[in-house]
């Protein structure tokens, strides 16, 4: 754990461009229960952009659940990348029509 409360794997430097062997994060920075809770975000961190910046300063990875329901727009991915530090990882779920869990 870092001094600011974030979790990092010992020896992993996000700016090195190397993937960590282990990364710890939560499901998403837009998850309503987390967004509304003061357990993860302090008062004043209200928008999705602010939450992503705050989150990415403390965790090295997040899951992108939205990609399961629809393909991501290139502009959206570019904005996320611009709002996170080098080496931050997005664990992107496969689109449901490419998996066995799509509509039947």
pLDDT digits (tens, 9 = 90+) for 39-78: 888 888 889 899 999 999 998 899 888 888 888 899 999 9
Cβ neighbours, 10 Å, residue 53? 15
How large is the average pLDDT for residues 4-16? 52
Q: Which segments of 9-102 are extended strands (E)?
A: 61-64, 89-92
Query: Hey, what are 29's tokens?
Result: 């920075």
| Amino acid 6: pLDDT | 45
């Amino acid at each position: 754990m870092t001094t600011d409360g974030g979790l990092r794997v010992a020896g992993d430097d996000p700016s090195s461009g190397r993937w960590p062997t282990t990364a710890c994060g939560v499901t998403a920075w837009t998850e309503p229960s987390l967004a509304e809770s003061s357990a993860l975000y302090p008062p004043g961190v209200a928008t999705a952009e602010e939450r992503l910046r705050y989150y990415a300063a403390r965790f090295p990875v997040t899951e992108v659940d939205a990609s399961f329901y629809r393909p991501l727009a290139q502009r959206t991915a570019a904005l996320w990348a611009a709002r996170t530090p080098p080496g931050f990882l997005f664990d992107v779920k496969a689109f449901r029509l490419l998996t066995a869990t799509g509509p039947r």
